[in-house]
Structure formats: structure tokens, C-alpha cells
Amino acid sequence: MWCALLSPEAARGQISPGELSRAHAKFDGSDGCLNCHSANRGVDRELCLTCHTPIRERIAAGLGLHSRPDYGDCEHCHIEHQGRDFELVYWGKAGQKAFDHALAGYTLQGAHAPLECRACHRKESIADPAPLLAKGVDLGRTYLGLGTRCAGCHQDAHRGQFGTADCASCHGLKKFRPAELFDHDTSKFPLTLAHEKVACARCHPGATGGAEGGAGAAGSAPLLATPASPGSEPPNVHFRGVPTTCAGCHKDPHQGRFGGKCETCHTADDWKRIQRANFDHARTRYPLTGKHQATDCLDCHLPGKPRQIAGFERCASCHADAHAGQLALRKSGGECGECHTTSGFRPSTYTVALHEATSYPLLGSHRTTKCATCHRTLPPTELERAGIALVRVAPAPKAAGPPAITQFRFPKSDCADCHRDPHAGDTGRYLGTEGCLACHALTDWRAIRFDHSVTRFPVAGLHLKVACLGCHKTQADGGLAPPSARAWATPRAVRLAGAPLQCTGCHADPHLAQVGTSCEKCHSDTSWGPSRFDHNRDSTYRLEGAHRAVACIGCHFRERAAGKEVLRLKPLGSACTDCHKSTIQPL
């Protein structure tokens, strides 16, 4: 029996407080006690640190839990002789989850606070496992080896784009995304105005996972060796090398015509708001000239419409056709630039020389006539009533349809279409002539070239010197046809028909009907004198002898009759004593 009691196993059982943990199993036996116990201290810390050199180094550096004075006794937490499967760490009565991690020199905050210990204390997260392995440490059970840098546990989601920069300078501990601490103003591209409202992923797309690249989802960066999602690589969001020019992100709507400095004309606040002072419209395919230079951008580039103007080569793209299609049949199709400039719609630049190429060349006095005299501005309905076809089209943007239209097309171009006939049609009815030009010239209305010999009253002698109005008197306007839509009014008519054929129709009878109205028997149209009168033929008193030399007034004396002085032609006495007084004295 004593032999049994004195055997090594029995002795060990008598003096050992219990089986050692698996980590210290090699110290089983009485000769192993002194590896941890000393004669005067029980569990000797220095003996522990003989093996646990990594702990010694941390204590010496003043790092971690073990360097704290109140944790100087190893047996305070590491209780042995509890059996092979004991974890060798005593967490206190509250257990592991109640451990104050701040005691270890790293306070758990944000998303770290609710994590299980082994979520971080994993063998994959140990930065340098070699010293621990050399000491036979089970990497799956130890709490040593973790650093405090983010990259010690988390994969670098930026794939080294920021080098060794501290993650905490951009990311908080609650969420990895968004990077709430990042100040974009410290980058090469400070965010201003509208850029401040753009989601990060719009400019920083991921190489995997589509345009968003996973950058828009909240959460933490994946732990080391842990994919972002099963079967995929962690998202690679581009931060370095992202273009800083406008064209690097935005499609150039101008197709390179204005270069790459968009900020010359546009602002980051509103692409549509143009910095007009900087914008040079001359670089476009439509340089601004004349009044276009003072036109507001939105007058042409309407809100809600495509910014690019199509077909701006023609004025009608923006302006309503003031002539309602009247000029569309011209070779140019009625292009406004033939007559107008951008300096103003009026005055027209259309010249007399250009008018010569039309169906109505300007001749004579027409060349000095104002355009508006013939091309009058009238209501559209009045022109249509005159037989002029108008193109009623919707007005172009920002251009109202004209309330009145200038006439350029004419159904006819005869004189009477513009001028009122002062002769009330007499020329056609009585003379058989057609058109004003049979008598009048375009250079001067009063320069008459009418051949009066074709009438019942051929003009000869002194009548050739008489103005037309000397015989064809003006009279009241009655009887004239109404003027056309553009005829200028003649205030009085000059009738041709009905002019008197007898002398007394124009001339007063100086003889007061003594010899009738056939003046031509005595007078001619070359002289008023009685050049045709033959006293011996035409009267009852023949002139003979000295009577032939006597002037008419010698016999035909003047007298007053009917209040007028008249030359007495007849009756006159034919006796000598009727004219001569007797000078013979009676015996």
C-alpha cells in the first residue's frame, strides 16, 4: 500500500491541484511545476514571460492589457489546472461579452462594438504569425497578433489607390460607406454647386458589379480573405485616375467644335445657364451679327426644346414669314437675306437693279417711286379677296404671325391695277386704244404722245400749242370706276369723250351770233384774223377801188351790246353816206 502511495503518479495526484490545459500540458509532472511556480511567489510572472515573449515585449512597450499595472498578475485571468479543454482565459463572472476592450488599448466603437470576439480575432487577421507559431501558440485560439490599423483586419477596398493613407481619415466606424469623413475639397477636384449633389458612384464606378460597383451600399469593407459577396471579388471603386475635365464624364454635345474648356461658357451650377460674356457665338456655325448680338439666348434656344437649332441657315427657322409665302416661287425660295439684313428688317436692301430681274422691271418714274406706294401693307383677308394666295402657316417659335402683310404678288400689272383711270374708260370706248401707254409715257404722265388726227377733231395750227386740259376740262369725280386695292385716287376726272367739236364749244363768240357759229368760214387754226374771209365772195358788198385798202375797223365799228363791246359786222348800210359824210355845200 505504501508502495502505491509513494509511486510518482500517486505523488503527483497528491500534490497537483488539477490537470493543466492543453497549452501547458508539456509541463505535467512534478518537475514541470517550477516552470510557472517559484518558492516564494506561487505563480511567478517572470517565469510566464520567459515563454510568453510576445507579451513581455508588449509590456516593455507599454502596449495592451498586459502592460496595465492592475493586470500584472497572470493568474488573475489565466487560471490553470482546470483541465485540458479549458480555454485558459477567465473573463470574469459577466463573461467574455462583457469584457471592456478599452482595457486592451483599443476601444470598440461603431460597428465594432457588437461584434463577436472571433469576428476580429481570427488567425487570418494576425499580421505576423511567425513569432506565435514559434512559441507553439494556437493561432485559432489566441487573442494576440492583431494590429489597430484597419488594413490589419479589412481588405483594402481601394486596391492600394491611396497607399498607406489612414482609412479613418475618410471612413467612420459606423459605416464604411459613405465615406462621411472625406472632404472632397482636399482632392484635386473640389466639388462645387451641382457636383455636390451627384452620387459618388456616378463618377467613381466600380470595376465589378456594374456602374455602381457596390460603392453605393452601406456596410463595412470586407475582412481580409473574405469576398464582398459569395463568388465575387471585393468591389474595386476607382478613385485615382478619375478624369477632372468635363469631357471625361460628360458627353460633348458640341462634338469638339468648341474645344474642351466647357467652363468657358458653362457653370457647374446649371449647364443651361450660359456665361454669355465668355461665350463666343462666332465659333459656332451661326455667328451672331446685327440685332442677333443683343438677342437673349432663350429667344432662340427655347426652354424644353432641343438646345441645338436645326436648319438655322434659313431665317424662317426662327422668324415667321412676314410675306405669307408670296416669295416662295423665287429661285431662292424666298430667302429673307435677299432683301433684309440682321441689322434690321427695315429698310429693305432690295435694289432697283434686282427689281429689273422680276416680271415687272421698273421704268421711268417708277424707278423713283417709294416701295410702299405699290407694295402696301394690308390685312390678309383683303389680299385674299383680291385673289392673292397666302400661305397660312403657324408662326415660327417666339414669332407672332403678322397682323398685316405687305403685298408682293399681283394678279395683274396693268396701269389701271395701280392707277385710277382719270378718263373713266373713254379711251377704250371712243378711241379704240388699249392701255395708258398708248398716250402716256412712264417718264412723265403729262408727256402725251396721242395722235389726235385719228379723232373727229384733228388738232392743227395753234391748237397744237394748247394743253390737253385746255379743251378736256377736269370735272367732278362722278362716273369713275372705284380704285383697285392699291390705286391712288385721282381727285378729278379728265373726260375725253364729249369734248366740243365746234369753236364756240371752247371759244366765246366775239360776234354775238351776228354771223352764226361756223367760224372756220372766216378764221383758220393758224391765226385768229379772218384769213379765209373773202368780202367779195362772202358778203353782199363788194370791195372795189379804194375800199380794198381800208382796214376792217374802218367800216365795222365797235359798239356795246348785251353789256359787251362787240365789232359790228352786220347789218351795215351800203350807201356811201352810211359811212362818208358829205362835204358838198348846197347851192
3-state secondary structure 16-58: CCCCCCHHHHHHCCHHHHHHCEECCCEECHHHHHHHCHHHHHH
Give CA–CA dist 36/40, Å, rounded.
12
Mean pLDDT, the chain, rounded, equals: 81
Task: Please check whether residue 538 lies inside any domain of the structure.
Answer: yes
Is 320 within the bounds of a domain?
no
Residue 151 lies in a domain: no
> By three-state DSSP, how is residue 479 classified?
coil
Strands 377-378 and 42-43: what pairing?
unpaired
How many helices, marked H, and strands, marked E, lie in the chain?
A: 18, 8
Checking phi first, is residue 16 left (phi over 0); if not, alpha (psi -120 to 50) or beta?
beta
Residue 555, SS3 per DSSP: helix
In angstroms, the CA 421 to CA 129 distance is 121
What is the residue whose three cell numbers read 383680291? 386
Q: Buried b vs exposed e over 71-99: b needs ≥16 C-beta within 10 Å?
A: eeebeeebebeeeeebebeeeeeeeeeeb
Q: Is residue 215 scored above 50 in pLDDT?
A: no
Domain membership of residue 541 (yes or no) is yes
Chain segment 316-357, per-residue pLDDT in tens: 878 888 888 888 888 888 888 889 999 998 888 999 989 998
What are the pLDDT digits (tens) for 288-327? 999 998 888 878 877 776 666 766 778 887 888 888 888 8
Asked whether the CA dihedral 306, 311, 317, 318 is positive or negative, the reply is: positive
In this structure, how many other beta carbons lie within 10 angstroms of the beta carbon of residue 300? 17
Q: Which three cell numbers stand for residue 528?
A: 385768229
Cα distances from 542 to residues 537, 538, 557, 577, 580, in angstroms, run 8, 9, 18, 16, 17
433 — alpha (psi -120 to 50), left (phi > 0) or beta? beta
Cα pseudo-dihedral 575, 579, 585, 587, rounded to 10: 10
User: For residue 540, is it within any domain?
Assistant: yes
Nearest CA among 106, 140, 145, 110 for reference residue 221: 110
Question: Could you give the C-alpha distances from 240 to 22, 151, 162, 366, in angstroms and in order?
Answer: 50, 19, 8, 78
> What DSSP designation does 395 have?
P
Given a cut of 50, whether residue 471 has pLDDT beyond it is: yes
Q: What is the pLDDT of residue 482?
A: 44
Whole-Å CA distances, 514 to 128, 446, 448, 517 = 159, 39, 37, 9
Domain coverage including residue 534: 505-574
Give mean pLDDT, residues 109-120. Answer: 92
How far apart are the C-alpha atoms of 267 and 264, rounded to whole Å? 8
Q: How far is CA 313 from CA 202, 305, 308, 337, 341, in A?
A: 38, 18, 13, 10, 13
Cβ atoms of residues 572 and 556 within 8 Å:
yes
At 50-77, the pLDDT tens digits run 988 889 998 999 988 999 999 989 988 8
Average the pLDDT over 494-521 and give the result.
86
Q: How far is CA 161 from CA 127, 158, 181, 287, 576, in A?
A: 21, 5, 18, 47, 155
Q: What's the domain count of the chain?
A: 1
Element (H, E) at 8: helix 8-15
The answer to whether residue 554 is domain-embedded is yes
Distance separating alpha carbons of residues 316 and 322, to the nearest angstrom: 10
- CA-to-CA distance for 458 and 397, rounded, in angstroms? 67
pLDDT at site 488: 44
Contact between residue 220 and residue 154 where contact means Cβ atoms under 8 Å apart = yes
Asked, for residue 324, whether it belongs to a domain, the answer is: no
526: in domain: yes
Model pLDDT, residue 211: 35
Q: What is the DSSP letter of 202?
A: H
Nearest CA to 455 out of 512, 484, 395, 496 is that of 496
Condensed to tens digits (0 to 9), the pLDDT of residues 553-580 reads 888 888 888 888 988 888 888 888 888 8
Q: What confidence tens digit (pLDDT) does each residue in 191-212 have?
A: 988 999 888 888 887 744 333 3
Question: What is the model's pLDDT at position 292?
Answer: 92
Of the candidates 25, 6, 155, 133, the one whose C-alpha atom is nearest the C-alpha of residue 81 is 25
547, three cell numbers: 375800199
The CA-based diameter of the chain, rounded to the nearest angstrom, is 246
Interacting residues of 61 by C-beta distance below 8 A, sequence separation 6+: 67
How far from each other are the two terminal CA atoms of the chain, in whole angstroms? 246
Beta strands in 251-378 (DSSP E): 377-378
**pTM of the complete model beyond 0.85:** no
